[in-house]
């Protein structure tokens, strides 16, 4: 007797959100979250690098854009860096404290939406895509810019900022099984140098130059890229926070129709012509 058996097919496409790094320009991501809320858009997976990992984790937990903005308006540089002595890296203790005060001391697996934080392990020199373990440590590691912060011990690794190797982690979402990816690039001055002789300005310029090439794979793995115009804002200062939030909101809102098209195509059709044949002897 010949039996036709339908193969197991994915009924829905999975759509992911990749949030790029960019220091204080990450405030723009809060505006992007507000635009997604208004459009009732929810993603299947979220990934983030540096500040993108912090906003991404909050979104994955269920923190609203208004709650994020309320937290952001209270933050000063001294609340992030434990010491501001030149040439002296700070611990990430204050970053971890902000995270645990917001979502609790939880593991990544406890988030409502599957999430990945991207960092770099300085022992192996490899990118680390973190999908499990203590959330505050993973995010602190993803944000730990070398010479600004100390490396973060995470399991058997020593983590630094993920932007060193993957500033727009769209490819990570592909590896996790996403069929389509929306990315937000908040670093509009990536690749730009500086004529400043100041230590921190030179440091940030060198990081921008390094990130230029690794951003390419983020673009290649994205279906839609939202790129707020943040050139007039500093990546190292909170000045203009509300304006950055609005820039992120406006840039994302313009792209909502295109993003919604991804979701309209979300349901996959079953192809019954692909049924497998089994013969019962």
Task: Identify whether 43 is part of a domain.
Answer: yes
Residue 120, H or E segment:
strand 115-121
How many angstroms separate the CA atoms of 42 and 15, rounded? 9
Confirm whether pTM is higher than 0.95: no
What is the pLDDT at residue 189?
Answer: 65
Helices within the chain (DSSP H only):
27-38, 51-61, 65-72, 77-80, 93-103, 135-143, 170-175, 199-214, 216-220, 241-264
Task: Identify whether 273 is part of a domain.
Answer: no
CA–CA distances in Å: residue 61 to residues 107, 169, 239: 11, 19, 27
* 171-177-181 Cα angle (round to 5): 50
Task: Identify whether 221 is part of a domain.
Answer: yes
CA–CA distances in Å: residue 188 to residues 25, 131, 259, 278: 9, 28, 21, 56
How many Cβ atoms are within 10 Å of 109's Cβ, its own excluded?
11
Q: What is the pLDDT of residues 53-75, one digit of tens each?
A: 999 999 999 999 999 999 999 88
Residue 205 above 70 pLDDT? yes
Name the token pair of 258.
């295109």
- Per the structure, the complete domain to which residue 121 belongs is given by 16-255
Q: How many domains does the chain have?
A: 1
Q: What is the pLDDT of residues 224-259, one digit of tens each?
A: 999 999 999 988 788 899 999 999 999 999 999 999
pLDDT average, residue stretch 168-177: 97
Residues in contact with 24: Cβ distance below 8 Å, sequence separation at least 6, in sequence order: 51, 233, 234, 235, 236, 237, 238, 241, 244
Task: Identify whether 277 is part of a domain.
Answer: no
Task: Identify whether 206 is part of a domain.
Answer: yes
DSSP-derived 3-state class of residue 48: strand
DSSP 8-state secondary structure symbol assigned to residue 62 = T
What is the pLDDT at residue 87?
Answer: 62
CATH of the domain at 20: 3.40.1090.10
Task: Identify whether 280 is part of a domain.
Answer: no
Task: Identify whether 5 is part of a domain.
Answer: no
**Cα 208 from chain centroid (whole Å):** 17
Task: Identify whether 2 is part of a domain.
Answer: no
Report the DSSP pairing between strands 152-154 and 157-161. Answer: antiparallel
How many angstroms separate the CA atoms of 223 and 74, rounded? 35
How many Cβ atoms are within 10 Å of 135's Cβ, its own excluded?
28
Q: Are 31 and 249 in contact (CB under 8 A)?
A: yes
């Amino acid at each position: 007797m010949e039996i036709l058996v339908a193969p197991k097919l994915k009924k829905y496409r999975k759509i992911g959100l990749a949030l790029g790094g960019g220091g204080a320009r990450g405030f723009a991501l809060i505006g992007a979250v507000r635009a997604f809320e208004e459009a009732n858009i929810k993603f299947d997976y979220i990934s983030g690098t540096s500040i993108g990992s912090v906003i991404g984790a909050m979104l994955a937990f269920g923190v609203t854009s208004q709650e994020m903005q309320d937290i952001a308006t209270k933050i000063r540089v001294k609340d992030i860096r434990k010491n501001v002595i030149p040439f002296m890296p700070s611990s990430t203790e204050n970053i971890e404290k902000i995270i645990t005060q917001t979502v609790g001391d939880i593991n990544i697996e406890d988030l409502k939406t599957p999430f990945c934080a991207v960092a770099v392990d300085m022992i192996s020199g490899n990118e680390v895509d973190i999908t499990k373990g203590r959330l505050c440590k993973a995010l602190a590691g993803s944000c730990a810019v070398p010479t600004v912060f100390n490396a973060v011990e995470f399991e058997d690794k020593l983590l630094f900022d993920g932007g060193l190797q993957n500033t727009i982690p769209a490819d990570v979402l592909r590896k996790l099984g996403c069929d389509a990816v929306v990315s937000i690039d908040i670093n509009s001055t990536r690749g730009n140098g500086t004529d400043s002789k100041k230590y921190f300005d030179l440091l940030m310029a060198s990081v921008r130059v390094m990130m230029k090439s690794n951003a390419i794979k983020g673009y290649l793995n994205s279906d839609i890229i939202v790129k707020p115009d943040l050139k007039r804002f500093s990546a190292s200062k909170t000045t203009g926070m509300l304006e950055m939030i609005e820039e992120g909101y406006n840039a994302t809102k313009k792209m909502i129709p295109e993003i919604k098209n991804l979701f309209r195509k979300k349901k996959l059709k079953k192809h019954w012509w692909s049924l497998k044949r089994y013969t019962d002897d």
